[in-house]
């Protein structure tokens, strides 16, 4: 533990770990949880004493505001184990910053930095056996906050619960990903909550994504809500396009989540001499580039999958297949970032933090 503890945590541990019953070679993403969880309530205008308890369900009043008004935000991050059995986080300061931006946007209290970081480090330290060595093995970390105050009145809650739960995960591979470009539905709108990691952003995607799945596409490339002409995100990932030798990704805005993977890949690309521009690509430019052969790669970027190459896209019912590239920029960037995360290469950026 490298952090000094400002807030002492009450810790109640399990009498017997369930780790022996877990098949670490066959983990379905996000379905197995470790023995303990971190919990800290906010009431009377202050954060209360944090606790670590056995992982377990808890009771809420049926009128709790999270159920009715969706005041809920979350983060997604990972811990990695290196060859010396040391456990590392990747840019946790960025997740804390984004979490608190989400909190402000959803009229929720910001989490105290000490509670977040100390909770994260203490919980992961306790669960370090759940982080397995080897590329692709990770501990997925889910910090979240919900409104637990009661009352079916459409106003912000006065009581909140901040929690961290942990889920061991294998590298996330979703098979060949074909995407459809959104022509009607939107993920986010100007003035909306697209830049927040708010629960409602995800539930709003389920229905259009189901329609896309029914047509044989795994994900949607979201376009701007006003004109549906600018390419913005892919499913729950940021998206990159390589046209000739230049990588393009939309600049962050109030419609786009400021992804930690996205910003890290941009910095790695710049370091490695790969041309990268934060510029919106128009749907018409993408179609044109696919037709004239200058479109080389499209890939999503996010914590869960790291980099997710896309094999083709559909627009106005026409399917465009992408070329198969041996040593793609997507794979090169994925190797570079994962080598930093697993301490297989030098972290010249200072992004990794030891637990």
CA 137 and chain centroid, separation: 16
Q: Helix (H, G, I), strand (E, B), or coil: what is residue 292?
A: helix
Q: Which stretch binds ligand PLP (CB under 6 A): 80-88, 175-183, 254-262, 328-336?
A: 254-262
Q: Which stretch binds ligand PLP (CB under 6 A): 11-19, 236-244, 283-291, 309-317?
A: 236-244
**Contacts with ligand PLP, 269-308, as mask; x by CB under 6 A:** ---------------------------------xx-----
Q: Which stretch binds ligand PLP (CB under 6 A): 38-46, 105-113, 164-172, 233-241?
A: 233-241
Question: Based on C-alpha coordinates, what's the Rg of the chain?
Answer: 21
**Minimal distance, residue 91 CB to ligand PLP, in Å:** 9
Closer to ligand PLP by Cβ: residue 224 or 233? 233
Closer to ligand PLP by Cβ: residue 53 or 253? 253
| Whether the Cβ atoms of residue 245 and residue 289 lie closer than 8 Å to each other | no
Question: What phi and psi values does residue 193 have, to the nearest 5 degrees?
Answer: -115, 20
# chain residues binding ligand PLP, by CB under 6 A: 12
259 near ligand PLP (CB under 6 A) = yes
Q: Annotate 180-196 with DSSP letters as a single string.
A: EE-SS--S--TTSSTTS
**Minimal distance, residue 306 CB to ligand PLP, in Å:** 9
Q: Which two tokens stand for residue 242?
A: 């390589």
236 near ligand PLP (CB under 6 A) = yes
232 near ligand PLP (CB under 6 A) = no
Q: What is the distance between the alpha carbons of residues 159 and 100, in angstroms, rounded to a whole number? A: 16
Cα–Cα–Cα angle for 36, 39, 40, nearest 5°? 160
Q: Annotate 140-162 with DSSP letters as a single string.
A: EEEEEEEE----SSSS--S-EEE
**Residue 74 parent element (H or E):** strand 72-74
Q: Which stretch binds ligand PLP (CB under 6 A): 42-50, 116-124, 229-237, 268-276?
A: 229-237
Closer to ligand PLP by Cβ: residue 118 or 205? 205
Q: What is the distance between the alpha carbons of residues 264 and 342, in angstroms, rounded to a whole number? A: 15
Q: Helix (H, G, I), strand (E, B), or coil: what is residue 106?
A: coil
Closer to ligand PLP by Cβ: residue 92 or 259? 259
Residues that bind ligand PLP in the complex, under the rule CB under 6 A: 76, 233, 236-238, 257, 259-262, 302-303
């Amino acid at each position: 533990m490298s952090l000094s503890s400002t807030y002492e945590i009450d810790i109640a541990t399990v009498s017997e770990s369930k780790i022996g019953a877990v098949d670490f070679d066959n983990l379905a993403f996000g379905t197995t949880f470790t023995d303990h969880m971190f919990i800290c309530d906010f009431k009377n205008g202050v954060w209360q004493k944090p606790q670590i308890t056995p992982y377990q369900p808890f009771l809420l009043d049926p009128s709790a505001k999270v159920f009715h008004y969706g005041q809920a935000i979350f983060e997604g991050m990972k811990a990695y184990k290196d060859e010396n059995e040391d456990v590392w986080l990747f840019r946790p300061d960025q997740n804390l910053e984004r979490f608190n931006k989400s909190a402000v946007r959803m009229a929720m209290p910001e989490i105290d930095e000490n509670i977040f970081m100390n909770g994260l480090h203490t919980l992961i330290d306790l669960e370090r056996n759940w982080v397995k060595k080897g590329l692709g093995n990770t501990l997925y970390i889910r910090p979240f906050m919900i409104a637990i105050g009661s009352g079916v009145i459409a106003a912000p809650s006065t009581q909140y619960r901040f929690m961290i739960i942990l889920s061991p995960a294998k590298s996330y591979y979703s098979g060949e990903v074909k995407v459809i470009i959104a022509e009607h539905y939107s993920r986010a709108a100007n003035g909306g909550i697209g830049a927040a990691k708010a629960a409602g952003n995800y539930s709003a995607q389920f229905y259009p994504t189901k329609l896309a799945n029914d047509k044989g596409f795994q994900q949607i490339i979201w376009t701007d809500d006003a004109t549906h002409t600018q390419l913005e995100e892919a499913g729950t990932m940021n998206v990159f396009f390589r046209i000739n030798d230049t990588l393009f990704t939309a600049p962050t805005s109030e419609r786009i989540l400021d992804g930690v993977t996205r910003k890290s890949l941009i910095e790695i690309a710049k370091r490695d001499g790969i041309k990268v521009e934060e510029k919106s690509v128009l749907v018409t430019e993408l179609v044109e580039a696919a037709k004239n052969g200058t479109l080389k790669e499209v890939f999503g970027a996010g914590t869960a999958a790291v980099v997710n190459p896309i094999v083709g896209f559909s627009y106005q019912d026409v399917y465009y297949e992408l070329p198969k590239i041996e040593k793609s920029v997507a794979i090169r960037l994925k190797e570079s970032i994962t080598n930093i995360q697993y301490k297989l290469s030098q972290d010249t950026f200072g992004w990794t933090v030891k637990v």
